[in-house]
Copies of this chain bind each other. A is one copy, B any other.
Amino acid sequence: MTNAHDYAKTHKEQFLEQLKDWVHIPSISTDPTRKGDVQRAAEWLAADMRRVGIENVEVLPTAGHPVVYGDWLNAGADKPTVLVYGHYDVQPADMEDGWDSNPFEPVERDGKIYARGSSDDKGQAFIHIKAAESLLTNGGKFPVNVKFLIEGEEEIGSEHLVTFVTANRDRLKSDICVISDGAILSIDQPAIVYALRGLVYMELEVHGPSQDLHSGGFGGTVHNPAQALAEIITALHNPDGSVSVPGFYDDVVPLSDEERAELRKTDWAVSDWQAATGASQPWGEAAYTLRERIGARPTLEINGFASGFYGTGAKTVLPAKALAKISCRLVANQNPEKIYQLVRDYVAKITPPTIRSEVRMIHRGDPALVELHIPAMQAAISAYEKGWGKRPVFMREGGSIPIVADFRRELGVPVILMGFGLHTDGAHGPNEHFTIEMFYKGIDTAIHFYEDVAQIKS
């Protein structure tokens, strides 16, 4: 065991307290009223990076929320350069969504820290900052050259990051990219994700009368926009759970028998799925296993909708309009822009003349597939074996990190996805939490990763 591993062990309580400070800042990137908090979270991170010895730390403006950059490039020209990506912005969170405690007042319960961003992604990004602290404070040296790029717009589609990456190709030049923003299979079974779904997020709005009407005075003669929206939503799926939009599956590459066999090793038992979701029984494409439905099949999901009156009590209104948020998760070889056009055109086609409808694209991201047999992947496998104590399995992930495809395209680097969270962490939902033991193990594993990457011959 090296000194950096010892340092991480003896400082773990301080690391946790620092993380609590950071997640306390409500850096909700989608909420314009939180712009100041997003900036504050960026500056908090930059200050900590400077404190631990990372060099050239800057909070760099973009057309949206800023990017935090820092590097340490003194390992020598013969050593690889690792680009570490993460994000400091978080999803919205309100007590009324079902939180048991204030989402921005972190609390420890049962070995977990509960707070928005504790797992996605402040906690996981912070693992790399604390690995850096352990390496730099204790010996003053990183085994590889390293560049940190922690952004503030991941939860709203990394809208301005591609522009930033393209404009800073030289500064970001590197050999390997590592991202910790995901889940492993269980606390006892590490996993490396080699496929990510893409995303296209849309808004579907239906308009009927020019204003809300009295449901008694007009009901029966007006095509109710809430009902019309429900009718359109219903028509977006077939009874078998597949998406009914014509052409939706055209570009999906069929899974090989070999890959299906590999994925079957990690498939969910229905009882585990029930425990994780709280739902009564699975739904979806029966020809595919649960893992395949999530990792290897595209979906169309209703993220929410609203129309008319939905408060306590009664209001006999016939609403003027209805709005739904709809997102499609996409798999490798599917194009978000094309899928948006297919959905838009299909909705236009099935919209009856009694109402008006509109589908708007909010944001999008490409799907990604990562190479399995490269040295950087071997370093990640080795790091998990040493830091976590078990060889990782390979998985397809249902979520989206669009920047993975962007990094490959813009910087030409392989992207290694070393998740340190769990699917049960409640990312994007109420009571998001991070298992403290996984935070500590993650720091140790990250130090091993940097040490193992240093062995790669260029």
Chain A residues in the interface with B (C-beta under 8 A)? 30-32, 91-92, 97-98, 155-157, 183, 197, 199, 201, 208-224, 226-227, 229-231, 233-234, 237, 273, 276-285, 290, 293-294, 297, 299, 301-320, 322-325, 327, 329, 353-356, 362-363, 397-400, 423, 426-431
Residues A220 and B398 in contact, CB atoms below 8 Å apart: yes
Residues A315 and B325 in contact, CB atoms below 8 Å apart: yes
* Residue in A92, A305, A397, A427 whose Cβ sees the most chain B Cβ within 10 Å: A305
Residues B273 and A221 in contact, CB atoms below 8 Å apart: yes
Nearest-Cβ distance from residue A360 to partner chain B, whole angstroms: 11
Residues B356 and A299 in contact, CB atoms below 8 Å apart: no
Residues B284 and A220 in contact, CB atoms below 8 Å apart: yes
Residues B303 and A201 in contact, CB atoms below 8 Å apart: no
Residues B278 and A315 in contact, CB atoms below 8 Å apart: no
Count of this chain's copies in the oligomeric assembly:
2
Residues A234 and B226 in contact, CB atoms below 8 Å apart: no
Q: Which residue of B lies closest to A237 (CB)?
A: B227
Nearest-Cβ distance from residue A357 to partner chain B, whole angstroms: 12
Residues B362 and A301 in contact, CB atoms below 8 Å apart: no
Residues B400 and A201 in contact, CB atoms below 8 Å apart: no
Which residues from B are CB-within-8-Å of A323? 310
Q: Which residue of B lies closest to A182 (CB)?
A: B217
Residues A279 and B210 in contact, CB atoms below 8 Å apart: yes
Nearest-Cβ distance from residue A363 to partner chain B, whole angstroms: 6
Which residues from B are CB-within-8-Å of A294? 216-221
With A283-B222, A299-B220, A307-B302 as known contacts, state yes or no: A316 contacts B201, CB within 8 Å. yes
Which residues from B are CB-within-8-Å of A285? 220
Residues B423 and A283 in contact, CB atoms below 8 Å apart: no
Q: Which residue of B lies closest to A235 (CB)?
A: B234
Residues A201 and B317 in contact, CB atoms below 8 Å apart: no
Residues A278 and B209 in contact, CB atoms below 8 Å apart: yes
Which residues from B are CB-within-8-Å of A199? 216, 316
Nearest-Cβ distance from residue A28 to partner chain B, whole angstroms: 9
Residues A429 and B317 in contact, CB atoms below 8 Å apart: yes
A217-B423, A309-B325, A314-B325 given; 19 more Cβ-contact pairs under 8 Å: A32-B312, A91-B315, A208-B279, A215-B327, A217-B397, A219-B299, A219-B398, A220-B398, A221-B293, A223-B279, A226-B303, A278-B320, A282-B354, A302-B308, A303-B315, A304-B319, A305-B305, A316-B400, A317-B429
**Would you give 19 A-B contacts (Cβ < 8 Å), ordered by A?**
A30-B314, A201-B316, A211-B430, A214-B429, A215-B301, A216-B329, A216-B398, A219-B329, A220-B299, A223-B283, A226-B304, A227-B233, A280-B354, A280-B355, A301-B316, A302-B319, A304-B310, A305-B305, A315-B428
Q: Which residue of B lies closest to A229 (CB)?
A: B230
Nearest-Cβ distance from residue A7 to partner chain B, whole angstroms: 34
Which residues from B are CB-within-8-Å of A227? 233-234, 237, 301-302
